[in-house]
Structure 1
Amino acid sequence: MKQLICLVMLVANAAAIQDMSGKMVIFPERSDENHVKVAVSQTSFSAVTVCHRSFTDLQRSHSIFSLTTPDIQSYGFQTCYSADRKEMSVWVKSVRADFGSVNYEPNTWQSICATWDSGSGLVQLWMNGRALMKKYNVEFPITGQPQVLLGQEQSKYDKLTGFIRTMSFVGMLTDVHMWDYVLSTCEIQNYMAERSFTPGNVVNWAALDSQTRGRLMIHEKQICPLITL
């Protein structure tokens, strides 16, 4: 079977809704441009859950999922890895919560979910079926028209080129979902184990309204290893 589905050249394509089930996006090189821009219509969030699976050999810091709004400008909601601290970080409204002692091995599929609730201000990270410590962050809602990018760190709203190359994601990314509530423990575990779960009601990989820029490739998804829960 021919695995290569398409190659996106160094121009932005037209936004379109695609069923990305069974597919992954490959970010093949360090870049200050390569990214996927995901359309989000909702403009206020009092809670968020973001889940994604990624595979990389990077041993430097990098951003995976990034949301910002005109009200926040940077780090509205972001998941990233810090190589210096060897921690995964979740940013909410420019406030960072760090999660150490994570098993972030190169060349391994990483299933990651991050949750945040403005009612309590608590952030939690899940990695490969394991729940990490809940940490206090911020209690104020995220407001404003979101800009969601995959594969780049946003330091400024409405910026689509000239990103920091050394924070760009290089690797494979799939199964990106976002909800406007804290997903239940059972649903997160189902996502981690690739069982049936409720798709994201804000971002849904099976109905992804997105636009790509740069040299990105879409391939058939590689099977993730089974995860023991």
Structure 2
Amino acid sequence: MTAGEEKWEAFLKSMAISLVLSLIFPEETDSSYVEMVPLKPMRLNAFTLCMRVATELSGEREIILFAYRTQDYDELNVWRELDGRLSFYLSGDGVFFKVPQLGALETHLCFIWDSSSGTAALYMDGKKSLRKIYRKNHTVRAGGKVLLGQDPDRYLGDFDAKQSFVGEIRDVNMWDSVLPPSMIEDMYLGRRAPRGNIFDWETAELKINGQVEVVTHEL
């Protein structure tokens, strides 16, 4: 390849368009959700769960951001609480973080937890919260379903419209380890980072149910 051809190839790569997939939940329902199929069983002793979300829901209303339920247990649920705090629950009482309110401007969130130390924290737009100790030596069990948009009070059922997600969500990635802060910052800034080994948004199998719009746009 000549020097001129190499320059032309480099130019073409620089002009390549990246398409981003987003899920839009346009209104409250008790039936609309998206099931995400994990790349491997979700038996977890640690995790990093990241996503980009935007919602105009305000006031005293819970919003489910991520729900993983086995037959009998809510294994991992992520919420915006009535008072605006963000939280996650591992088969019981949750851990809560007082952070700036979610809104119409897209927010990058990452939730981290490690069973061996019990350390739990979250990152909001690349900034880390204080650490808390939560569910030390606990294990998240495999064999359930992951849903975006609804909180199942039983296995894939008993949805409550007043807890449903309304807004836009994308870039949901999950790892079975706690990622270093530098990698989370790279993701927030849109730099290339290793993809999730539990969920990889670029290749994830999504099962759409109800009134959920799937849109793509240029990055």
Task: Name the % identity.
Answer: 26
Unaligned runs of 5+ in 1: 1-19, 224-229
Moved over 3 A (4+): none
User: C-alpha separation between the residues in 2 aligned to 1:105 and 1:184?
Assistant: 24
Q: TM-score scaled to structure 2, two decimals?
A: 0.85
Alignment check: 8 A CA contact 2:19 2:216 kept: no
Over residues 16-66 of structure 1, what are the superposed CA-to-partner deviations in whole Å (9 max), with x where a residue is unaligned? xxxx95110100110111111011231411111110001110012201111
Higher helix share goes to which structure? 2
- Could you tell me which residue of structure 1 aligns to residue 26 of structure 2? 28
Alignment check: 8 A CA contact 1:95 1:137 kept: no
Over residues 137-180 of structure 1, what are the superposed CA-to-partner deviations in whole Å (9 max), with x where a residue is unaligned? 11211123121001112322x22x44011110000111000111
- Could you tell me which residue of structure 1 aligns to residue 174 of structure 2? 178
Unaligned runs of 5+ in 2: 1-17
Paired positions, count: 198
Q: TM-score scaled to structure 1, two decimals?
A: 0.81
Secondary structure, in 3 states, of the residue corresponding to 1:66?
strand
Q: CA RMSD in A?
A: 1.7
Match of 1:149 among 147, 150, 170: 147
Corresponding position: 1:204 with 2:205: no
Give the CA deviation at 1:222: 7.2
- Could you tell me which residue of structure 1 aligns to residue 64 of structure 2? 63
Over residues 71-92 of structure 1, what are the superposed CA-to-partner deviations in whole Å (9 max), with x where a residue is unaligned? x512x11221013x22111112
Match of 2:122 among 122, 125, 131: 125
Instruction: Decide which structure has the larger Cα Rg and report it.
Output: 2
User: C-alpha separation between the residues in 1 aligned to 2:19 and 2:152?
Assistant: 26
Alignment check: 8 A CA contact 2:19 2:218 kept: no
- Could you tell me which residue of structure 1 aligns to residue 13 of structure 2? none
Over residues 86-142 of structure 1, what are the superposed CA-to-partner deviations in whole Å (9 max), with x where a residue is unaligned? 211111222300001x11242111110001111111111111111001111112111
User: C-alpha separation between the residues in 1 aligned to 2:37 and 2:119?
Assistant: 26
